[in-house]
């Protein structure tokens, strides 16, 4: 099955809001052929803690949806005859040696993360939540993947840190960055999942959220 494009994309009969400023997630939805607008949740993610990564990413995705919905006049989306509007939110963490890793906050933390991945492997745990603003229906799902790395040279790690993009992604993990990609040995699961939004799961949840 081709999950690269949405089955609804060619005849999109709904409006879509992406609840994220992530460039990777925008690119993934564009690759799926979907039209959407962007809204950000602007929540304090660090204030929401769960020890289990599955629980953490799901509660964060739901919190992002709730925060965005709190700023909307939901009655506008529920008027009879309106196209349904879906809100898609998601979250992802990296798990390395049993420890949850979110976005690094300092250069030293980013360096520690990336050195730990060198010659080893990490898991990603992601969530996708789709809320139908017209009906109130909400669906969510988890997705997991693993990334195996060759040894990553110290100068590559320093270049990634100096560039700064590692601070904007969970665990500082950049799968398809030109500096990182040559040192990726294997991905078990889908690369779009590692990058923050599984196309297959997004397709399914969008379909299910539109069905009565």
- In the three-class reduction of DSSP (H, G, I as helix; E, B as strand; rest coil), residue 16 is classed as strand
Q: How far apart are CA 93 and CA 75, in angstroms?
A: 34
3-state secondary structure 17-53: EECCCCHHHHHHHHHCCCCCEECCCCCCHHHCCCCCH
Contact yes or no for 105/167 (Cβ under 8 A): yes
Active-site entry in 76, 91, 151, 162: 91
Catalytic residue list contains 162:
no
Contact yes or no for 143/129 (Cβ under 8 A): no
DSSP 133: T
Q: For the chain, what percentages of helix, strand and coil (3-state, to nearest 5) are there?
A: 40, 25, 35
Nearest residue to 103 via CA among 168, 47, 195, 38 = 168
Nearest residue to 211 via CA among 74, 86, 38 = 86
Query: Alpha-carbon torsion 156, 162, 163, 164, what sign?
Result: positive
* Catalytic (active-site) positions: 91
């Amino acid at each position: 099955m081709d999950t690269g494009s949405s089955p609804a994309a060619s005849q999109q009969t709904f409006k879509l809001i992406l609840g994220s400023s992530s460039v990777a997630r925008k690119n993934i939805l564009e690759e799926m052929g979907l039209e959407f607008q962007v809204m950000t949740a602007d929540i304090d993610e660090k204030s929401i803690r769960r020890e289990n990564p599955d629980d953490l990413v799901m509660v964060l995705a739901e919190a992002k949806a709730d925060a965005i919905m709190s700023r909307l006049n939901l009655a506008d989306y529920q008027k009879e005859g309106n196209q349904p509007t879906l809100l898609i939110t998601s979250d992802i963490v990296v798990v390395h040696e049993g420890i949850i890793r979110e976005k690094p906050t300092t250069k030293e933390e980013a360096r520690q993360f990336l050195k730990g991945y060198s010659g080893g492997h990490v898991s990603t745990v992601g969530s996708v939540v789709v809320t139908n603003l017209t009906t109130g229906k909400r669906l969510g799902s988890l997705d997991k993947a693993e990334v195996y790395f060759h040894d990553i040279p110290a100068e590559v790690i320093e270049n990634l840190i100096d560039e700064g993009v590692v601070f904007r992604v969970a665990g500082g993990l950049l799968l398809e960055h030109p500096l990182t990609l040559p040192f990726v040995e294997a991905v078990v699961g889908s690369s779009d999942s590692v990058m923050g939004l599984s196309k297959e799961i997004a397709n399914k949840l969008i379909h299910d959220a539109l069905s009565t």
